[in-house]
Amino acid sequence: MDQIGFIGLGNMGRPMASNLCRKGFRLAVHDLNRAPVAELEKLGATSAASPRDVASRSDVVFTMLPDSTVVEEVVLGPDGILAHARKGATIVDMSTIDPTVTDRLAAAAAAKGIGFVDAPVGRLASHAERGESLFMVGGSDEAFARVKPMLEAMGTTIHHCGGAGTGMRTKLVNNFLAIVSCQMNAEAIALSQRFGLSLAKTLDVIHGTTATNGQLKLAWATKVLKGDTAPGFTIDLAHKDLTLIVNAANAAKVPVPIAAIAREAFSSARAQGHGGKDFSAVVDVLCENAGITKARL
């Protein structure tokens, strides 16, 4: 069995690494925060002092990190994974980052004979806890086959989207719709509140037409409309992803005016101190700004 390395034990990485441990995989883990490392040690993982240490001890290395700069340093830095990877190793980056960075990582790995897979994650931290994550995977057939059993230990839905970089780009397309839907929902629901409509009846109507969407029908019904704005996916992260989306679209010469406008709405929410709330809370921010009673079921 391959020895697994896991770097980045945040809200998503910690539960995913935990599920690998519970499914019998041997893990070496690293994070700047000692607390999640200690949790993983209780499940049988071993602590690694650095990305270099993880790479030297692992056949497959997973990364789940906050942004492009950190991923690039951890993978390409002098004390990073590629500089110290075992022969024939495979790197799996599950972060959501700039796809041009993903392309550079894949090319650098290929030049050293190291496999590379991008496998950004769909769904929330609560799904990761239950081992129900969704993965959008980019990589060769060989690399995908190697890491598929590990992805199956962490999730229930795995889509092989094509070669390296296709997973990341699929994630951006998916998040474009998910995040923009939140902004549209916020504006529509705030308007319904200003009109003095029954929220329950308005939702009954919307969910019976093509106007409905998964964010409003599934996510909002258990989050902001119940008064729960504890973060599953934060306004800060939504803003980060919208920035990635706008930049990637600009690079591809595809105009995305709706994404750009939504990003500025999320910028406004962050500026008002709401960045750490669940991204469904944009409706609360809008209602507060307009002096409208918050929408609650």
Predicted confidence at residue 227, as pLDDT, reads 97
Predicted confidence at residue 124, as pLDDT, reads 86
Rounded to an integer, the average pLDDT of 39-43 is 97
Q: How confident is the model at residue 274 (pLDDT cuts 50, 70, 90)?
A: very high
pLDDT digits (tens, 9 = 90+) for 119-134: 999 988 889 999 999 9
Average pLDDT, the chain: 97
CATH 1.10.1040.10 fits 169-290, yes or no: yes
Predicted confidence at residue 24, as pLDDT, reads 96
pLDDT digits (tens, 9 = 90+) for 170-191: 999 999 999 999 999 999 999 9
Catalytic residue among 42, 148, 171, 226: 171
Q: How many Å apart are CA 33 and CA 64, to the nearest integer? A: 14
Residue 288 has pLDDT above 90, yes or no: yes
Domain map of the chain by residue range?
Answer: 3-163, 169-290
pLDDT digits (tens, 9 = 90+) for 52-68: 999 999 999 999 999 99
Whether 171 is a known active-site residue: answer yes
CATH no., domain 3-163? 3.40.50.720
Q: How confident is the model at residue 37 (pLDDT cuts 50, 70, 90)?
A: very high
Neighbouring residues of 148: CB distance < 8 A, sequence distance ≥ 6: 158
pLDDT digits (tens, 9 = 90+) for 196-212: 999 999 999 999 999 99
Predicted confidence at residue 254, as pLDDT, reads 98
Predicted confidence at residue 1, as pLDDT, reads 80
Rounded to an integer, the average pLDDT of 265-279 is 98
